């Protein structure tokens, strides 16, 4: 949709409010499990991982989440082993994948999540809180309607 500068203002494009879902991923979540559900029309626009302690797994430690039991459609292999990404408040930049970002979901969808590690098993780390941001435009509306 093309608009003129005269059409832009406080009411166009329409303001949108973010809705946030939080869920926890622990080191024991090695099998994908449903953590929350996103509603029909939701458009994912942000994801963050919040943690207090990085994993001490020997080689790799990651969390992933998505819309099926593979749990990789939204974020795949986010590193929680290093202090730089496994501790604090971090965007999932570089690990966001798939076509669900910024596209209205066609149905209500569960969000599955899992933890994976390689090497010697971890004894510390996590849990990590995932903050998933989305908004819900009206049926048939685009982002800038």
Successive 10-residue mean pLDDT values, the chain, 145 residues: 69 81 97 96 94 95 94 93 94 81 90 96 95 87 70
This prediction's pTM: 0.87
DSSP letter (8 states) at residue 11: S
Reduced to 3 states (helix: H, G, I; strand: E, B; else coil), residue 9 is coil
Q: What is the pLDDT of residue 89?
A: 96
Joined tokens for residue 108 = 């209500």
85, 86, 89, 94 alpha-carbon torsion, rounded to 10°: 40
The residue extents of the domains of the chain are 22-135
CB-based contact 92:77 (threshold 8 Å): no
Q: What is the pLDDT of residue 141?
A: 76
């Amino acid at each position: 949709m093309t608009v003129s500068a005269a059409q832009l203002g406080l009411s166009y494009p329409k303001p949108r409010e973010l809705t946030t879902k939080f869920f926890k991923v622990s080191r024991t979540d090695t099998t994908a499990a449903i953590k929350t559900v996103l509603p029909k029309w939701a458009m994912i626009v942000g994801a963050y991982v919040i943690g207090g302690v990085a994993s001490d797994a020997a080689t790799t430690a990651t969390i992933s989440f998505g819309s099926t039991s593979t749990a990789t459609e939204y974020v795949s292999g986010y590193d929680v082993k290093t202090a730089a990404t496994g501790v604090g408040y971090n965007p999932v930049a570089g690990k966001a994948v798939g076509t669900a970002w910024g596209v209205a979901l066609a149905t209500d969808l569960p969000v599955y999540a899992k933890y994976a590690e390689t090497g010697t098993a971890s004894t510390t780390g996590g849990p990590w809180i995932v903050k998933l941001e989305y908004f819900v435009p009206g049926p048939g509306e685009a982002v800038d309607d």
